[in-house]
Amino acid sequence: MNQQLDQVKEVLARARVEIGKVIIGQEEVIDRSLIAIFTGQHALVEGVPGVAKTLLVRTLARVLGCEFSRIQFTPDLMPADIVGTNVFNLRDNEFTLIRGPVFTSFLLADEINRAPAKTQSALLQAMQERQVTIDRETHILSPNFTVFATQNPVEYEGTYPLPEAQKDRFMLKITMSPPNREQELILARRMLGRESPEAVLQSGTITPVITSEALARLRPELEGIAIRDELVAYIVDLVRASRNHEGILVGAGPRATQSLLLASRAFAALAGRDFVTPDDVRTMCVPILEHRLVLRPEFEIEGISVRELIEKLMQEVAVPR
Ligand X SMILES: Nc1ncnc2c1ncn2[C@@H]1O[C@H](COP(=O)(O)OP(=O)(O)OP(=O)(O)O)[C@@H](O)[C@H]1O
Residues that bind ligand X (CB under 6 A): 23-26, 47, 49-55, 179, 187, 196-198
Q: Which of residues 54 and 85 has its CB atom nearest to Mg ion in the complex? A: 54
Q: Which of residues 53 and 173 has its CB atom nearest to Mg ion in the complex? A: 53
Please, what is the minimum distance in Å from the beta carbon of residue 230 to ligand X? 38
Question: Which is it for strands 68-72 and 106-110: parallel, antiparallel or unpaired?
Answer: parallel
Q: Which of residues 202 and 211 has its CB atom nearest to ligand X in the complex? A: 202
* Sign of the Cα pseudo-torsion (314, 270, 218, 198, in order): positive
- Which option in Mg ion, ligand X, none does residue 49 bind, with CB closer than 5 to 8 A by kind? ligand X
- Which option in Mg ion, ligand X, none does residue 320 bind, with CB closer than 5 to 8 A by kind? none
Which stretches of the chain bind Mg ion, using CB under 5 A? 53-54
Measured from the Cβ of residue 318, the count of other Cβ atoms closer than 10 Å reads 8
CA angle 296, 287, 141 (to 5 degrees): 115
- Which option in ligand X, Mg ion, none does residue 26 bind, with CB closer than 5 to 8 A by kind? ligand X
The continuous run of DSSP H or E covering 214 comes out as: helix 212-218
Q: Which of residues 53 and 291 has its CB atom nearest to Mg ion in the complex? A: 53
What residue number has its CB nearest to Mg ion?
54
Please, what is the minimum distance in Å from the beta carbon of residue 81 to ligand X? 19
302-310: list long-range contacts, CB under 8 Å, 24+ apart.
304/247, 309/245, 309/247, 309/248, 310/242, 310/285, 310/286
Q: 3-class SS at 199? A: helix
What radius of gyration do the chain's Cα atoms show?
Answer: 20
Q: Which of residues 58 and 167 has its CB atom nearest to Mg ion in the complex? A: 58
- Which option in Mg ion, ligand X, none does residue 247 bind, with CB closer than 5 to 8 A by kind? none
- Which option in ligand X, Mg ion, none does residue 187 bind, with CB closer than 5 to 8 A by kind? ligand X
Q: Which of residues 54 and 142 has its CB atom nearest to ligand X in the complex? A: 54
- Which option in ligand X, Mg ion, none does residue 52 bind, with CB closer than 5 to 8 A by kind? ligand X
CA-CA distance, 174 to 193, in Å (whole number)? Answer: 30
Q: 3-class SS at 122? A: helix
- Which option in Mg ion, ligand X, none does residue 30 bind, with CB closer than 5 to 8 A by kind? none
Please, what is the minimum distance in Å from the beta carbon of residue 53 to ligand X? 3
Please, what is the minimum distance in Å from the beta carbon of residue 19 to Mg ion? 17
CA atoms within 13 Å, Cβ hemisphere of 107: 30
Please, what is the minimum distance in Å from the beta carbon of residue 17 to ligand X? 15
Instruction: Say if residue 195 is exposed, middle or buried (CB neighbours under 10 Å; 0-12, 13-18, 19+).
Output: middle
CA-CA distance, 316 to 287, in Å (whole number)? Answer: 18
Please, what is the minimum distance in Å from the beta carbon of residue 70 to ligand X? 9
What does the H/E/C string look like for 265-297? HHHHHHCCCCECCHHHHHHHHHHHHHHHCEECH
Please, what is the minimum distance in Å from the beta carbon of residue 176 to ligand X? 7
Please, what is the minimum distance in Å from the beta carbon of residue 47 to ligand X? 6
Q: Which of residues 107 and 285 has its CB atom nearest to Mg ion in the complex? A: 107
Q: Which of residues 53 and 265 has its CB atom nearest to Mg ion in the complex? A: 53
